[in-house]
Structure 1
Amino acid sequence: MKFRFATILLLAAFALSSHDADAATLTMKDAIAKVQRETGGKVLSAESKTQGKKTIYRIKVLTRDGQVKIVEVPAED
């Protein structure tokens, strides 16, 4: 009986952990690399901010044509 209960708990833990993996999150390092690739510019600064339950990375970039832009990248896909 104890073995069956432990097995059920283990399976439930695996099911819950795989569900969390489905909600892919982007690190700030990944967000910076993405902005550099997409703009071809130089990142001047980066910060994270929270809006409700969502995290957003605000990345300030100097574009190739000399403009400063702020790009917002959501951490959750």
Structure 2
Amino acid sequence: YRVPEEFYNFKDDPDGLNNLVHDPAYALELDKFRKQMLKMMERYKDPAVEAFRNRDQTGVMEEFMEQQREKAKNTRPVEKF
């Protein structure tokens, strides 16, 4: 199970072992990428945009993912064997 947010320096850490999302040295760069992500999500009407905006609130991402699972389950054709 992965964490909600990941940020790596693949030049210095090509295997992506050190998640820098909480490293203060990368805070400005991470903020820049978050803003770019939000703009793209808004532009393309991503259904996860509200969950992304509120990602720091407990349970928001989990609730969004549960809604997506239910939606997918209800729209998939039932296979009969």
Q: Report the TM range for the smaller structure's normalisation.
A: under 0.3
| Bigger radius of gyration | 1
- TM-score w.r.t. length of structure 1: 0.27
The structure with the greater share of residues assigned to strand is: 1
**Which has the higher relative contact order, 1 or 2, with Cα contacts under 8 A spaced 6 or more apart?**
1
Q: TM-score, length-normalised on structure 2?
A: 0.25
